[in-house]
Amino acid sequence: MNISKIFTATAILLATLSSCKKDLNLTPTNDLTSDVVYATPAGYKQVLAKVYASFATTSGLGSDKSDLGGIDAGTSDFIRLYWNAQELPTDEGLCVWNDPGVYDLNYLTFSADNIILRGLYTRSLYQITVANEFLRESTPEKLASRNITGSDATNIAAYRAEARFLRAYQYWVLMDLFGNPPILTEENTIGIVSPQQIKRADLFKYVESELLAIEPELLTLPEYGRASKGAADMLLSRLYLNAAVYTGTAKYTEAITYASKVIAGSYFLHTAYKNLFLADNDLNNHETIFAINYDGNNTQNYGGTTFIINASINGDMNPSSFGVPNGGWGGIHASSTLPAMFGTLPTKDQRYMFTGNKAANDDIGVFTDGLRITKFKNINQAGVTASSTNGTFTSVDFPLFRLPEAYLNYAEAVLRGGTGGTINDAVTYVNRLRHRAYGDDSGNVTALSLDDVLAEKAKEFYWEGYRRTDLIRFGKFTDASYLWPFKGGIKAGRAVDATRSIFPLPTADIIANTNLTQNPGY
């Protein structure tokens, strides 16, 4: 089954399985009964495609509609919401738009009424709801009742593992960002009782158990865009690397174990870093382990890489050279701390992809007060612009997991005392990244510190949604030991309360669900 090709075919199904939600009421409304939708193996394929497509679309009804209520459709895509939450409160990016919720993230002064955080929380729960619905309808008992047997039943059982992975990923998002969310699985009856809240440490155990259970069931090398064994291993490594934050108990040895499984797998580095973020990054790419697939004609919305590319440039930057001839919104740029990590310029490090004449962030509302990032482009490796319905939507897939994360997780976990790895291997893995970045061995290192790894993560993964999580794990997110422009709401930066390491649960959900207790500090 080719998930990307099914996106278009599932448009009608998206509409029937989705409706505009008011607040956090996430119960799907179906014009078609489940017995009709799931009557055939083809129906199951289409609904699985819906589970995947809910990561890349705002609605099955077009770019001007959203599955969510209470937020503008154009801003309700998962990656746009997640990117804002993971990048704007950090030393990597600032947004100049004075839209609701934006400056509160720039300043780390967000409240339980922040519309962006509420949208992300709701989007994650919505995607969990869609996965749960598929899992309810794909049990062996349900398949038997519909006379689906043999190889068809075997295929659908494999689809269940993929749906469970996508659900586990979204529960990881909620655990990482919101700490103590409500929990619903396929065992819950929708609409009968309000979901119960789960503590962060208990949610860690749930996500861990789900990933361990499905890892043997996932394919080693499925088609591009589908969840694989490597994706589960990569998420387990990430989960264990952050275990001390989530549970108070370190699991660095386990982080090494699962990073090593990824490294020993069928992935290898792309020859050119820049090609990982172009419109044909779905082709001959054995580095990206799992990505959200975007298509300028068939998965149109104003989030995802359409947002990242258009918001990173303005009309003065020749949008056509970025593959968006009718684009260029002038909204997001680098904090001065990010390009400074690359040291004295010019640098041989080909990951340095910035433009502009002023690195300093003096006025938060001025797009040119900060270097612009040119990492993502809606053109292919031959320089040809990808097809787009309106010259704005993009076809650049967004990587959720890349092989370099396994290398750097391994190195960090070894330095933090995990067993089963060696510092020599850690240095080797880091140097693989630096050799690609420099084009030779001139940037290689002979020793590593934790600060070296954190800096390497920034240079390798900037604007890919890692930074907030990394800074929290390194103890640099809230206190005064590390400052960046406008942290805490002032130009020079200042410390904020430690409770800012977890986002608040949205006020609307606290009011609607009496089972929920707000996170401390809000």
Domain hosting 29: range is 1-95+109-217+501-522
Tens-digit pLDDT profile for residues 152-189: 999 999 999 999 999 999 999 999 999 999 999 998 87
Give pLDDT, residue 29.
Answer: 42
Tens-digit pLDDT profile for residues 380-410: 999 999 998 899 999 999 999 999 999 999 9
Give pLDDT, residue 191.
Answer: 65
Which 3 state secondary structure label does DSSP give 100? coil
Question: Residue written as tokens 């009742």?
Answer: 145
Average pLDDT value for residue range 318-347:
97
Q: Is residue 257 in a domain? A: no
What is the C-alpha to C-alpha distance for residues 399 and 51, in angstroms, rounded to an integer? 17
Confidence of residue 18 (pLDDT cuts 50, 70, 90): very low
Residue 203 confidence (pLDDT) above 70: yes
Tens-digit pLDDT profile for residues 453-481: 999 999 999 999 999 999 999 999 999 99
Q: Is residue 191 in a domain? A: yes
Residue 2 confidence (pLDDT) above 60: no
Average pLDDT value for residue range 181-203:
89
CATH number at residue 22: 1.25.40.390
Give pLDDT, residue 12.
Answer: 31
Q: How far is CA 184 from the centre of its chain?
A: 21
Confidence of residue 500 (pLDDT cuts 50, 70, 90): very high
DSSP 499-514: GGGSPPPPHHHHHH-T
Residue 33 confidence (pLDDT) above 80: no
Confidence of residue 31 (pLDDT cuts 50, 70, 90): low
Q: Is residue 4 in a domain? A: yes
Q: Is residue 422 in a domain? A: no
Confidence of residue 74 (pLDDT cuts 50, 70, 90): confident
Residue 292 confidence (pLDDT) above 80: yes
Q: Average per-residue pLDDT in the chain?
A: 92
Residue 19 confidence (pLDDT) above 60: no
User: Domain count of the chain?
Assistant: 1
CA distances from 382 to 294, 326, 333, 339, 386 (A): 19, 21, 26, 27, 11
Give pLDDT, residue 7.
Answer: 34
Q: Is residue 340 in a domain? A: no
Tens-digit pLDDT profile for residues 123-147: 999 999 999 999 999 999 999 999 9
Confidence of residue 32 (pLDDT cuts 50, 70, 90): low
Residue 226 confidence (pLDDT) above 60: yes
What is the C-alpha to C-alpha distance for residues 182 and 513, in angstroms, rounded to an integer? 9
Tell me the two tokens of residue 355: 């433009």
Give pLDDT, residue 342.
Answer: 98
- The most confident of 6-15, 16-25, 324-333, by mean pLDDT: 324-333
Q: Is residue 179 in a domain? A: yes
Confidence of residue 58 (pLDDT cuts 50, 70, 90): confident
Contact 218, 162 (CB under 8 A): yes
Confidence of residue 16 (pLDDT cuts 50, 70, 90): very low
Q: Is residue 240 in a domain? A: no
Tens-digit pLDDT profile for residues 230-261: 999 999 999 999 999 999 999 999 999 999 99
pTM summary value: 0.93
Residue 25 confidence (pLDDT) above 90: no
Q: Is residue 164 in a domain? A: yes
Give the whole-number percent of the chain exceeding pLDDT 90. Answer: 85
Contacts of 114-118 with C-beta under 8 Å, sequence gap 24+, read 114/503, 114/504, 115/70, 115/71, 116/75, 116/81, 116/84, 116/85, 117/85, 117/177, 117/503, 117/504, 117/506, 118/70, 118/71, 118/506, 118/508
Residue 45 confidence (pLDDT) above 80: yes
Give pLDDT, residue 80.
Answer: 97
